Structure 1
Amino acid sequence: MSTMQDVAKLAGVSAKTVSRVFNDELHVSPAKRDRVNAAMAELNYVPNMLARTFREGKASVLAIAVPDLGDPFFASIIRAIDQVAQRNGHAIAVTSLGHDADREQPIVEALLRRQMDGFIIAPISNDQSYLAKWLVNVPLVFVDREPANIAADLFVEDDKGAAHAAVQHLLQHGHTDIAFIGDSENVITTRRRLEGYREALAAAGIPRRPERVLLTEPENASELIAALLSSNDSPTAVFSSNSRTSQEIFPTLQQLNQPRVALVSFGDFPMAAALQPSVTVVDQNPERLGRAAAERLFARLDEPTKRYRRRNVFTADLIERASSAEFVGEAAAARGR
């Protein structure tokens, strides 16, 4: 394993200069910075954060990075991780990545430079190869979203299979015109759920209709749904690919539809069971994901060389409620279908 002294020797600078470059401090000339960065890349160097933590007597901390701290799904994951961390004498540091893929690497690496014992991340970009050098000293666990171009521990749910089952549920209730609404296909969970939606329709012999797929940010979802349902050729059912979108469109579905359009949400959300009609959901169980990710991270800390199954996929069950069953056939009948 390369040391700071090895990097300093190769770059022809002092160890202090290497430290300054790694921590992105000022007062280092561009020429020296370039030499140090080249040397670190050549030697695949990252500092031994865990050793520094013990040496400096700092508190043990786990880092968590998710797309949106305000999303109830990710908030539940964080709470579950925190519970496991507390049992193991650790605090947590949490950050939001947002939805700009270019921000992921600088945000994540800024946290990793601050002596974290481990890192749990739900990524937003399409390339996590930049994390390979950190795996030498910092256990990394991915949750909810699969990483690209790196092999690391992963805990996800069967997005594609659960979406297929949700659409099949609507088909079994007589709906053959089903819309899909979700965020960008750049988000791997949306992409997997869209695949499941399309495959379920194809298996039922229903031709693909691109205009039935609405991709937008949750805050714009109601406007798109309103336009779709106000047309003469509107669907009888909607499959929403995430809970935030479901919460946004539910009031619109209530206001615009006489008779109501069926709804299935990928992901439960607060009050979903109490709404009128109550909302049929794919139960993601974010607490299970967070707990499993945290337990794997601590297992890595305790036994770094032990072999574990990297990719772990949980099933997600459908909870049937009134939004997909109470008005069975009513919408289709009203449209003469």
Structure 2
Amino acid sequence: MGERKIRNMEEFASVSGISRPTVSKYFNDPTSVRASTRARIEAAIEQYDYRPNIYAMNQNRQLTKNIGIVVPYLTDPFFGEIARVIEQRCIEAGFSPSLFSSHGEAEQERDILDTLRSLKPAGVLLAPLGRTSDKSVVESFCRDVPTVLFDSNIEGMGEAFVGSDNYSFVSQTVEYLSRTGEPPSFFEMKHPANPNANKRRRAYLDMMERLGLEPHMLQIDGTGWAFEEIGRKGGHDILARKALTTDTILCSNDRLAIGLLSACYEAGYRVGRDAGHDLRIASHDDHPFSRYTCPALTTAAHDYANVSGHAVDTLFHLIESGGRFSTREETLFSARLIMRDSA
């Protein structure tokens, strides 16, 4: 008999030292794991006298083994990397993931959710478009299908949200840039597609006020998800109008920054943190391409592994709980400042 009472499969995985997906796979089909792993699990079952919630498991077995994964733009390497980790975790746990991209279109997002509802998935991991999402459609879907939102939060929808703490992104970049040179202006779209952009704007304004500095907004035209081209066109506009009040620019996201770097090169502006350069540019996300720009982009990085891993674990927990939590869960992971040559 074990020395403590194990309440659920997550705790059992923790005390037994075996990954949560492997434990779930064993309880669905003991022969699906290696013999040595099966022996370890069964020894832990004996030690802790653990028995899974048979009622919840039987409920889950009435569902398919499908997991839906929905992202706004699969061609964006940011979402591609997160989706890759999520897919692998689902496969390891014995589920069959189906990956969908809404291509930045609300109508496409609605069609995907209708398709997923007909597939009767065990659960769905949804990164919604956000501002342009049909919120009534998303809300209805979340009521019908166990859903965990990630990356982009829509308040009150889904049983849980897992994402990044946007304030931690911006507070680190503003503090660093203000300490090492002129304080930054904030470069953003007037009508951003992703609601994270609004949180980053508010964080910039709050942080500048906290530091006793005057904020300066560089708002550019453009809609949709073609951020690099929007950033390039907007960059040419602010440079041509000589709209800069400081030699430091902080971009809302790395894809806008990549476009701005292109505009600076084409307009003959030298970007970097060394003497002799005209501008410093920094941003947020640590997009997979940001280290390869010229110069490499200083940025605040997502915790890709923890965001994607915790989103999957939360969905597995939700499925085991019969598709509902007693209260909606929110988990935010802090960013990490990465200093490169652009600022």
Deviates most, 125-134 or 289-298: 125-134
Q: Distance in 2 between matches of 1:117 and 1:319?
A: 38
1:242 matched to 2:283: no
Residue pairs, 1:1-337, within 5 angstroms: 60-126=65-131, 128-135=135-142, 138-150=145-157, 152-182=159-189, 184-185=191-192, 187-210=194-217, 212-214=218-220, 216=222, 217-218=226-227, 219-234=229-244, 235-255=246-266, 256-258=268-270, 259-304=277-322, 310-324=329-343
What is the TM-score with the length of structure 1 in the denominator?
0.71
Question: Relative to 1, partners in 2 of residues 1:128 and 1:243: Cα closer, same or farther, differing over 3 Å?
Answer: same
* Structure 1 position 107, deviation (Å): 2.5
CA deviation string 1:51-72 (max 9, x = no partner) = 99966xx962111111100111
Q: Which amino acid aligns with 1:153?
A: A
Q: Which amino acid aligns with 2:211?
A: A
* Structure 1 position 86, deviation (Å): 0.9
Question: Relative to 1, partners in 2 of residues 1:244 and 1:229: Cα closer, same or farther, differing over 3 Å?
Answer: same
Q: Distance in 1 between matches of 2:129 and 2:289?
A: 28
**SS at structure 2 position matched to 1:321:** coil
What's the C-alpha RMSD, in Å, of the aligned pairs?
A: 2.9
* Structure 1 position 200, deviation (Å): 2.2
* Structure 1 position 175, deviation (Å): 1.4
CA deviation string 1:280-334 (max 9, x = no partner) = 111112332121111111112223366576011110111112211xxxxxxxxxx
Q: Which runs of 5+ in 2 are unaligned?
A: 1-56, 271-276
Question: Relative to 1, partners in 2 of residues 1:192 and 1:260: Cα closer, same or farther, differing over 3 Å?
Answer: same
* Count of aligned residue pairs for this structure pair: 272
What is the TM-score with the length of structure 2 in the denominator?
0.70
8 A contact 1:182–1:242 mirrored in 2:
no
* Structure 1 position 165, deviation (Å): 2.1
CA deviation string 1:232-279 (max 9, x = no partner) = 443412212222222222232334314331111211133533444321
* Structure 1 position 138, deviation (Å): 2.8
Cross-structure match for 2:20: none
Q: Distance in 1 between matches of 2:138 and 2:58?
A: 19
8 A contact 1:61–1:93 mirrored in 2:
yes
Q: Which runs of 5+ in 1 are unaligned?
A: 1-49, 325-337
Q: Distance in 2 between matches of 1:287 and 1:71?
A: 17
Sequence identity (%) = 20
Q: Distance in 2 between matches of 1:109 and 1:144?
A: 21
8 A contact 1:157–1:313 mirrored in 2:
yes
Cross-structure match for 2:273: none
Q: Distance in 2 between matches of 1:215 and 1:51?
A: 53
8 A contact 1:99–1:124 mirrored in 2:
yes
Q: Distance in 2 between matches of 1:192 and 1:173?
A: 24
* Structure 1 position 179, deviation (Å): 3.5
Q: Distance in 1 between matches of 2:59 and 2:321?
A: 19
Q: Which amino acid aligns with 1:257?
A: Y
Cross-structure match for 2:42: none
8 A contact 2:142–2:158 mirrored in 1:
no
